[in-house]
Structure 1
Amino acid sequence: METHRAGPLAGLRIVEFAGIGPAPFAGMVLADFGAEVTVIERPGGESRLGGGSALNRGKRVLRADLKTPAGLALVRDQVASADALIEGFRPGVMERLGLGPDTLCAAHPRLVYARLTGWGQTGPLARTAGHDINYVALTGLMPAAAREGHGPALPATLLGDIGGGALTMLFGLMCALWESRRSGRGQVIDAAILDGVGYMGSLIQALRADGLWSDDPARNFFLHQSPYYDCFECADGRWLSLGAIEPQFHAELMTRLGFVPVPPQDDPAQWPALRARVAARLRERPLAEWVLVFGGSDACVTPVLTAAEAPLHPQQQARRNFFMRDGVAWAMPAPKLSRTPATPAGNRGELADDIRTE
């Protein structure tokens, strides 16, 4: 069993029911920041997506057959001394096991019971299957990732499972735990990926309300049609990201590309021609040369790195943003706390070595 170090959540006891995706990630975050997390694993758990085993660092794993009285008794004993419980099953599963919030919260009034699902505990889709891509699709935000002539494309799991699901649930968990200090009472958290992603779209909705967001890609620089906010291919087939939104940054970008005088930025009618010029210019040199051209500038240009390259980038190195475990580079917990930082456990409970190029 791994022994966890002190951290800002030291003393907090969490029971996590093993699953896949966002719930194990949420438990890992709590463990990284010092909570004592006990994972309840059932025989024959999910294997197609690896279950939560890769995200079990710093956790205590307890195997229990929830179909037996002994297994259920073991789980109830763990919950009796816990501050919070995390589960990511479809609605009704925990109730059928006799471990629903009505039962457990009645026995333990201070318990915070966090339920993390795709569709939520209520509604016509609540008991149906789904995954990250399905939940995001129903928020109305997926068209923002579409390119003309192509369907929307999303990075796997990041927006829905992790952003809208795990991180939203974790905030709700912290809110409920803070409130319980005053009231002495826990509560149930109904965290749905659908809800969380929709909430994350509030900035886009605010821009739309102010008339600053168009659903027409030809008039919205975010939607992959402008010459200054997109990824462009270099001579070697690698990609460069451009994000020069503000006028001064746009001027820096165009000047370093050799486009002087600087062409107009906010005339969508000129975007297609200028975009073609930018694309042609960037295809003249390989990625490494463009990195040198834009290095240290305010042009808002960065290379699109691979997973193997990212830990070795100077900014990542300076931030000590990765550590090694079992020969794999893992991201350090975020955010960084000045006095009680998170310390992810290594193989035997020790802090693993961060990645350095020296």
Structure 2
Amino acid sequence: MSGPLNNLKVLDFSTLLPGPYATMLMADMGAEVVRVESPTRLDLVRVLPPMVGKVSAAHGYLNRGKKSIAIDLKKPEGIEIVKQLVAEYDIVVEQFRPGVMARLGLGYEQLKEINPNLIYCSITGYGQTGPYKDRAGHDINYLALSGLSSYSGRAESGPVPLGFQVADVAGGSHHAVMGILAAVIQRSATGVGQHIDISMTDAAFSLNAMSGAGFLAGAPVPAPEKEYLNGGGFYDYYETKDGRFLSVGGLEPQFVQKLCLLLECPDRMNQALSQKPEDQAAFKSMLAEKIKSEDMVYWTEFFAKEDVCIEPVLNLDESVKHPQMVERNMVIQVGGEGGIDQIGFPIKFSETPCAVEEPGAILGAHTAAILEGLKYSEEQIESLQKQRVIKRI
């Protein structure tokens, strides 16, 4: 396999989004990832519409490049298989509630006895400690508790449910990969693995980079449309004549100056750069009126060659066809000719480019091959199948 992580082997016990997204990133970068799945309790993403043939589009994406072994972890024979795998794999990713893996005999303390070099990453909503550690939650709950939702939205209507999972992906998935790779670097120096405790709420809380830093330094509690970057200034979205929107983000003086010249209102520059709320409100009102006077295509063409940090709000159909996305290879075909179109890998490596070959595998597609690699005979594999310890294709 290509990619900079092609010397890493990962056992992935996670489901749904956070863990699978993290291990997808690692698989994209060349790691060998084996999903350890239940033969009877499906990962719901496998049946999440829309489907591409018999494959869920989401599952085909989130689990691309991974192998699948179906093992019943409630049976001793299944636990024994995992323990044999742990001796050969150097990273475990799990997403159960705290204590579940330990009760199965697969907790970090138990598995590091088998493999002292093991890096073991646990991804949960609230972490392995604290009063909420056993509490159920979803992305919207983690964002709510983190404080992020309190100043994201509109003053009149409050926070809005986002169309993408910030705490799950930017929080859980990305921080998990960061933690795992940091532990890999540490292990290369010391030979010792470790347990990584990822809380999606902690990770979301850490995203309070600007407003959180200001508040802790003595600034007022941030609120919707009160901060310069959340609608309190002219940095915002503006509706066009045809009901579409433009994003206006040029905060720096050189961008403001050019914008005011282009819109033939140079006298408004000082107003746009003012910190006074009344000046910002006046400039925003003027900007909104001007932008509402023409449709989105007009403004897109108007600003196309101007360096003012203004771009149209595209829908996904428009985004995947945008020249920038096309040039950056951000939509790829996975599975060969006639395969599935998927989102491309966002990191470009000059020496170890990433190659995605197959979408998410059928449940148990690699069970037999993996067991054969552990020296199980055909008779043993067939016996485990009959006992419903495993499922193979």
Partner of 1:278: 287
Q: Which whole-Å CA distance do the structure 2 matches of 1:124 and 1:199 have between them?
A: 19
CA RMSD of superposed structures (Å): 2.3
C-alpha deviation, 1:217, in angstroms = 5.1
Q: Which whole-Å CA distance do the structure 1 matches of 2:122 and 2:14 have between them?
A: 13
Bigger Rg, structure 1 or 2: 2
On the 8 A contact 1:88/1:116 being kept in 2, the answer is: yes
Partner of 1:47: 44
On the 8 A contact 2:239/2:291 being kept in 1, the answer is: yes
Answer yes or no: is 1:324 the counterpart of 2:333: yes
Partner of 1:19: 15
Count of residue pairs the alignment pairs up: 344
- One-letter amino acid of the counterpart of residue 46, structure 1: D
Structure 2: segments with no counterpart, 5+ residues: 49-57, 362-393
Partner of 1:345: 357
Partner of 2:124: 117
3-state secondary structure, aligned to 2:6: coil
Answer yes or no: is 1:199 the counterpart of 2:195: no
On the 8 A contact 2:246/2:312 being kept in 1, the answer is: yes
- One-letter amino acid of the counterpart of residue 268, structure 1: P
Q: Which whole-Å CA distance do the structure 2 matches of 1:49 and 1:60 have between them?
A: 14
On the 8 A contact 2:152/2:224 being kept in 1, the answer is: no
Q: Which whole-Å CA distance do the structure 1 matches of 2:340 and 2:318 have between them?
A: 13
**Deviations 1:21-73, CA, capped at 9 Å, x for gaps:** 11000110010000000001102223278587331110011111111122222
Query: Identity over the aligned pairs, expressed in percent?
Result: 34
3-state secondary structure, aligned to 1:324: strand
On the 8 A contact 2:66/2:360 being kept in 1, the answer is: no
Partner of 1:355: none
Answer yes or no: is 1:144 the counterpart of 2:144: no
C-alpha deviation, 1:154, in angstroms = 4.7
3-state secondary structure, aligned to 1:309: helix
Partner of 1:231: 237
3-state secondary structure, aligned to 2:121: strand
Partner of 1:353: none
Answer yes or no: is 1:69 the counterpart of 2:76: yes
**Deviations 1:101-146, CA, capped at 9 Å, x for gaps:** 1111122110000000110011111101001111111112222312
Partner of 2:249: 243
Q: Which whole-Å CA distance do the structure 2 matches of 1:28 and 1:218 have between them?
A: 36
C-alpha deviation, 1:209, in angstroms = 5.2
Q: Which whole-Å CA distance do the structure 2 matches of 1:238 and 1:327 have between them?
A: 33
3-state secondary structure, aligned to 1:107: coil
Structure 1: segments with no counterpart, 5+ residues: 350-358
Deviates further, 239-248 or 199-208? 199-208
Partner of 1:335: 347
TM-score w.r.t. length of structure 2: 0.82
Q: Which whole-Å CA distance do the structure 1 matches of 2:197 and 2:14 have between them?
A: 18
Q: Which whole-Å CA distance do the structure 2 matches of 1:304 and 1:189 have between them?
A: 38
**Deviations 1:181-213, CA, capped at 9 Å, x for gaps:** 122111100011111122222333334456778
Partner of 2:376: none
Answer yes or no: is 1:303 the counterpart of 2:312: yes
- One-letter amino acid of the counterpart of residue 258, structure 2: E
On the 8 A contact 2:27/2:66 being kept in 1, the answer is: yes
Partner of 1:356: none
**Deviations 1:80-111, CA, capped at 9 Å, x for gaps:** 10110000111111112111111111221100
On the 8 A contact 1:145/1:154 being kept in 2, the answer is: no
Partner of 1:92: 99
- One-letter amino acid of the counterpart of residue 69, structure 1: P
On the 8 A contact 2:155/2:224 being kept in 1, the answer is: yes
Partner of 1:101: 108
On the 8 A contact 1:311/1:329 being kept in 2, the answer is: no
Task: Mark the CA change 1:78 to 1:251 in structure 2 (over 3 Å): closer, same or farther.
Answer: same
Q: Which whole-Å CA distance do the structure 2 matches of 1:123 and 1:214 have between them?
A: 25
Alignment equivalent of 2:262, drawn from 235, 242, 256? 256
On the 8 A contact 2:59/2:360 being kept in 1, the answer is: no
Partner of 2:297: 288
Deviates further, 26-35 or 46-55? 46-55
On the 8 A contact 2:268/2:283 being kept in 1, the answer is: no
Task: Mark the CA change 1:91 to 1:295 in structure 2 (over 3 Å): closer, same or farther.
Answer: same
Deviates further, 41-50 or 290-299? 41-50
- One-letter amino acid of the counterpart of residue 273, structure 1: A
On the 8 A contact 1:218/1:268 being kept in 2, the answer is: no
Task: Mark the CA change 1:348 to 1:210 in structure 2 (over 3 Å): closer, same or farther.
Answer: closer
Task: Mark the CA change 1:93 to 1:223 in structure 2 (over 3 Å): closer, same or farther.
Answer: same
C-alpha deviation, 1:308, in angstroms = 1.4
**Deviations 1:326-353, CA, capped at 9 Å, x for gaps:** 775422212211111222224599xxxx
C-alpha deviation, 1:74, in angstroms = 1.8
